[in-house]
Amino acid sequence: MTDVVIPSPGESITEVTLGQWQHQDGEWVEKDDLLCEIESDKATLELLAPAAGAFKSAVGGGSEQRVGTVVAKIDTKAAKPAVVKTSAASASAISEPKVTSVARKLAADRGVDLTRVEGTGPSGRVTREDVERRIENAGAGKVDSAGAGARPGSAVTTTFGTAPTGTAAIGSRAARRERVPKIRQRIAERLVEAQHSAAMLTTFNECDMSEVMRLRTEHKDAFEKRHSVGLGFMGFFVRACVGALRAFPKVNAYLLGDEFEFHDYCDVSVAVGTDRGLVVPVLRNAESMSFADIEQRIRELAAKARDGKLTVDEMTGGTFTITNGGVYGSLMSTPILNAPQAAILGMHAIKRRAVEDPAHAGQVAIRPMMYLALSYDHRIIDGSEAVSFLVHVKQCIEQPERMLIGL
């Protein structure tokens, strides 16, 4: 017998939630077959079969388990049946290859016929990268007519249950309860902790997006052709914040007990919304990254976040956070600190408003404006520093050339 043990998703994580088993007791599994997914408060991982043999679960799916617990066994001495049975969750032995759950969901969303995808994972399993490669080769949109793309308003099925996305019937008084995912529990704990442990204040400003929008319009095609990634707003804001962090080092610091911990590097966390909650993957050493590096890394991390593939290391250790509520239409908000960080910048929706034309005093112009919010820990950062930091960001966005000459 070979034990199937809950691995450690990362330092300080001691308990995980076991997903639903993908195989019935007695079914034959090959080495590296997907057994289930395990969810921690920071990441979701796949639990793979350590050996080929007959599968036997030791605990029920959906249960809470501690790291190191034996949750199943593989009878490696069992005789492999002539016809291998497959569970409903696994791929069909005849018409479909072995597929990871993440790849299956992506294929369903994009209409990819999995029988046409060559698997490069363990034992020929189709991975997310294989599906993405198929999509890129075939072009944008629905890839295969045989694919069953997700319909708007349909239910989204995951290993941990079915989350209805449609609208309930009018007059219905039905109620339901769903288990709160561990990552959502952890988000709640951290947000409450930040409000209780920090002297949090928020200062506001607004910036004229005209110059950044002009630069994007003029250079986006050439930028994408050279770097194979789009030129977004986030690259400008990350660069602007890096300059401000280096000018005001307390904004980039931690308060640990009775000591300040200053950082000579800028590890910028960028908030990404997923169906499991908000996660904040980190851009390591953002001060040394070009616009293309920033945009490429954000795209990579956002894709991993949506697929539940972020590692614990990719979500921890940031020194400053940027969150963009504008993508959801937010006009103004007060973002909550991402402890132990000292500050977080909130971006918002761009709205054309009447403002005084800086080039012609006393005249009014219609400009694309964005409200900026900086929430900060007043125990570390004085009000003057917070305001000056936000003004620095505003100046860099309104005059992007400042970022080229280090102002």
Residue 197 tokens read as 């442990």
Residues 187, 180: Cα–Cα separation, whole Å? 11
Tell me, yes or no, if 227 is annotated catalytic.
no
Which of 197, 299, 185, 312 has its CA nearest to residue 256?
197
Single out the catalytic residue among 3, 219, 221, 378.
378
Which of 37, 80, 83 has its CA nearest to residue 62?
37
Buried b (16+ CB within 10 A) or exposed e, 194-232: beeebebebbeebbbbeebeeebeeeeeebeeeeebebb
Q: Under a CB-based contact definition with an 8 Å cutoff, are residues 237 and 322 in contact?
A: yes
**Largest Cα span, the chain:** 87
* Coil, helix or strand at residue 27: coil
Tell me, yes or no, if 23 is annotated catalytic.
no
Residues 194, 171: Cα–Cα separation, whole Å? 40
Where residue 391 falls (left for φ over 0; alpha for ψ -120 to 50; beta otherwise) is alpha
Say which amino acid occupies 371: Y
Interior CA angle at 94 toward 89 and 96, to 5°? 50
Residue 78 tokens read as 């069992």
Residue 316 tokens read as 């921890």
Q: Under a CB-based contact definition with an 8 Å cutoff, are residues 51 and 74 in contact?
A: yes
Say which amino acid occupies 45: L
Which of 39, 333, 35, 27 has its CA nearest to residue 186?
39
Single out the catalytic residue among 3, 25, 275, 382.
382
* Coil, helix or strand at residue 372: strand
Residues assigned a catalytic role:
378, 382
